[in-house]
């Protein structure tokens, strides 16, 4: 399922047309390959604040090479700026002073991360300055080009040591299709991170449940979680049993076939996890359906089935696993929402309502979960799958180009984001919704 337009723009005639007509020129994105270092190159670290002095040491734990000054002729794969020390709008020029001189010294597919303080935790002029960081990072994400990404990470007071998992994800090719996002660390509950014995396989010893696991995005989620060390338990409908069993056999995992909307589905899942695995550490609510029609033509069954699969089932399963104590301490719940739940979409009132509801599930539980359990969501944009391949050509092309990277994402981009959430090193990452959309132009 390759991007034909991207291939065309790399040909001589394609490059000529792009240049003369001002057409989008999507760059082939760096993506992570198992065994590779997290960062191919040097990360320039700067700023002033709570993390400035500790950043080089933190990144060294991930074997990331850092510099604190830009030597003449130096090239950089990433930039990290600590803006937690900015206490007034007049100090925002420090962002320009750090980034502008090195913009032309960035390698292809660079990663830029700004670290700030959650605005809601400060007041007055400092709150103004910290909120301004969002406009800066979102705009820079649309300017950086060449496959680059820009993120803002708000770190609560006391959560400085819990940033490593997030910095590793955002500085690496694992976040290839994530840009213009705001991540909060320590804003809901825990401000520390559980220990990680091996950063190359952070999920060793953890059991991960993935619904809708037999194909598409769900299959890739299962593969990435397995790559990172997890024992995967795949769930899908009985009609998908053949593909599910083949995949789980390949991944040395386990499987369960059922309709997640069935009345007894949450109890069956909880019982299976408790009996066969002693519980679960990671729960990924990936299963989803579409039944598109404009609301004037939408019958009851189309509405009810989408809400039942995409939203009510995740609610019920999550509640059962919590109530039964099947979800372990420092466990992680991840919902798969959608850009449609943020920006809306014609003919998808049912789907958009269900996916906005997934975000609501995150909001409703983030402050109430105990024992170090977290809940977060991903909101994919245009992801190239067998389903989107069936979309009419013109619609598909527009959908792929309406983002800062001028291309669609891949299922692995969603999976990498979920694996970051699932890491024990991300136990202070709670209550977040991160869009995996190449910084889509719709739904800020």
Catalytic residue set: 351
Q: Which helix H or strand E contains 254, and what residues bound it?
A: strand 254-257
Q: Contact at 8 Å (CB) between 159 and 116?
A: no
Q: Which helix H or strand E contains 210, and what residues bound it?
A: strand 207-211
Cα gap 357→297, rounded to integer Å: 22
Sheet holding 327-336: strands in order across? 254-257, 231-236, 207-211, 280-285, 327-336, 374-380, 433-436
Cα gap 249→257, rounded to integer Å: 14
Cα gap 238→349, rounded to integer Å: 28
- DSSP single-letter state for residue 90: G
Q: Contact at 8 Å (CB) between 170 and 178?
A: yes
What are the φ/ψ torsions at residue 377 (nearest 5 degrees)? -140, 150
Residue listed under structure tokens 């103004």: 128
Q: Contact at 8 Å (CB) between 327 and 270?
A: no
User: Half-sphere exposure of 146 toward its Cβ, with a 13 Å CA cutoff?
Assistant: 13
- Those residues with Cβ within 8 angstroms of residue 217's Cβ, 6 or more apart along the chain or in another chain: 286, 336, 380, 383, 385, 411, 414, 415
Q: Which two tokens stand for residue 333?
A: 């719940």
Q: Contact at 8 Å (CB) between 212 and 317?
A: no
């Amino acid at each position: 399922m390759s991007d034909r337009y991207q291939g065309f723009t790399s040909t001589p005639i394609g490059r000529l047309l792009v240049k003369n007509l001002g057409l989008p020129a999507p760059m082939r994105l760096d993506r992570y390959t198992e065994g590779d270092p997290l960062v191919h190159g040097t990360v320039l670290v700067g700023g002033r604040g709570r993390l400035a002095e500790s950043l080089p040491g933190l990144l060294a734990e991930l074997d990331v090479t850092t510099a604190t000054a830009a030597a003449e002729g130096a090239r950089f794969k990433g930039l990290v700026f600590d803006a937690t020390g900015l206490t007034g709008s007049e100090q925002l020029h420090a962002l320009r002073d750090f980034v502008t001189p090195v913009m032309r010294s960035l390698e292809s597919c660079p990663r830029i991360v700004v670290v700030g303080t959650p605005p809601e935790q400060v007041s007055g002029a400092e709150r103004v300055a910290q909120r301004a960081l969002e406009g800066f990072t979102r705009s820079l994400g649309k300017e950086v080009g060449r496959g680059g990404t820009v993120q803002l990470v708000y770190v609560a007071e006391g959560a400085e040591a819990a940033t490593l998992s997030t910095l590793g994800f955002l500085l690496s090719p694992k976040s290839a299709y994530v840009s213009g996002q705001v991540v909060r660390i320590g804003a809901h509950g825990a401000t520390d991170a559980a220990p990680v014995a091996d950063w190359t396989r952070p999920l060793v010893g953890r059991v991960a449940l993935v619904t809708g696991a037999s194909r598409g995005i769900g299959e890739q989620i299962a593969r990435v979680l397995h790559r990172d060390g997890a024992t995967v338990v795949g769930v899908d409908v009985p009609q998908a049993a053949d593909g599910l069993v083949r995949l789980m056999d390949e991944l040395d995992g386990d499987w369960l076939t059922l309709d997640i909307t069935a009345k007894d589905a949450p109890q069956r899942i909880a019982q299976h996890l408790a009996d066969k695995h002693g519980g679960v550490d990671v729960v990924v609510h990936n299963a989803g359906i579409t039944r598109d029609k404009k609301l004037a033509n939408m019958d009851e069954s189309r509405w009810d089935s989408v809400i039942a699969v995409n939203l009510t089932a995740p609610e019920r399963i999550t509640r059962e696993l919590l109530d039964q104590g099947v979800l372990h301490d420092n466990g992680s719940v991840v919902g798969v929402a959608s850009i449609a739940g943020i920006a809306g979409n014609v003919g998808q009132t049912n789907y958009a309502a269900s996916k906005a509801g997934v975000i609501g599930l995150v909001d409703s539980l983030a402050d109430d979960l105990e024992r170090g359990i977290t809940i977060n969501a991903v909101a994919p944009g245009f992801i190239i799958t067998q389903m989107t391949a069936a979309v009419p050509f013109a619609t598909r092309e527009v959908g792929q180009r309406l983002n800062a990277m001028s291309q669609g994402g891949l299922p692995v981009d969603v999976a990498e984001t979920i694996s970051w959430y699932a890491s024990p090193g991300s136990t202070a990452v709670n209550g977040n919704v991160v869009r995996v959309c190449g910084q889509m132009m719709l739904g800020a």
